[in-house]
Amino acid sequence: MALQLEAAIFRMRISCLLLVMVSAFACNPKKYAFERRVSCEEGVSEVNTNLRKIFKPCREYVFRARYWDNQFNLISDDYIWMMATGRDWAYEPESQDEIAIQYAFDSTKIDFIKQYTINPEFASGWRVSEVTGIIETEETVWMHPFRSNQYLFTQVAAFPYVKLPLERSTQWTSRGNNYENWGRWSNHTLNSTYQVLDFEKVETEFSNLDAWHIKATTTADFGTSINDFWFSQEYGFVKMVINNYEGQVLIIELVEVKDS
């Protein structure tokens, strides 16, 4: 009964948020600019066995990221650029490819956005760019989330992750540990449960796409976070609706894809 009530509240919150988003679309034209000065290589890795069908080397993605507080007041509306470089990720070259990420934001709003952090003990500067890793095999597609700046709390929500092949009602789990240097999240275990809900049409600013809808719930001692995301077999993780344990909401959706 408790889980059903929690699900009903979550659906109600998202429904209310969608009403807010209608006006946001009307008032926010596309505004983003990235340097795109990141080299990429289209050769085949000699270290790992990633397929590189979705995360093709040199394929550029742009996502729109909108972040609300727990009263549905808009905190930020920014853009994120991502590209697979075609190289192995230096930290785990045997399993992960490297992706380059750039964050577009208004530097004058940083202090305002920082007021809403749910982990003030985590000391981190504001990043313009970073590199991290992804996995794309016959059995698994997985990526680190966008977790810098105001998106830090995606570290304690379920990571974008699917186990293939996908079928309705399929479930899987994952377990993670935050060790030192994560502020109030240090030394906590994160348990995530993923469930495939349906194969459906999802609307993004890029296009209406056929995608698998997956609901992932992450529990930790400090609270529960939910990541509803949509996975396209052509473009990967095209939309994510993350509701953190403090009731804040982050919606990340695909805006642009550019193949070399």
- Mean pLDDT of the 164-170 span: 97
pLDDT exceeds 80 at position 3? no
* Distance between CA atoms of residues 252 and 260, nearest Å: 23
The pLDDT tens digits for 176-190 are 998 888 999 999 999
User: How confident is the model at residue 20, as a pLDDT?
Assistant: 45
Confidence of residue 5 (pLDDT cuts 50, 70, 90): very low
User: How confident is the model at residue 37, as a pLDDT?
Assistant: 81
* Residue-by-residue DSSP string for 116-149: T-S-TT---PPPSEEEEEEEE-SSEEEE----SG
User: How confident is the model at residue 11, as a pLDDT?
Assistant: 53
Confidence of residue 12 (pLDDT cuts 50, 70, 90): low
The region of weakest confidence among 42-51, 195-204, 250-259 is 42-51
Q: Looking at per-residue confidence, does 15 or 226 come out higher?
A: 226
Q: What are phi and psi of 89, to 5 degrees?
A: -75, 130
User: How confident is the model at residue 15, as a pLDDT?
Assistant: 53
Neighbours of 65 (CB within 10 A): 22
Task: Tell me the two tokens of residue 102.
Answer: 């750039």
The region of weakest confidence among 37-41, 85-89, 109-113, 127-131 is 37-41
The pLDDT tens digits for 200-225 are 999 999 999 999 999 999 999 999 99
User: Which of 109, 107, 91, 111 has the alpha carbon at shortest distance from 99?
Assistant: 91
- Mean pLDDT of the 31-52 span: 85
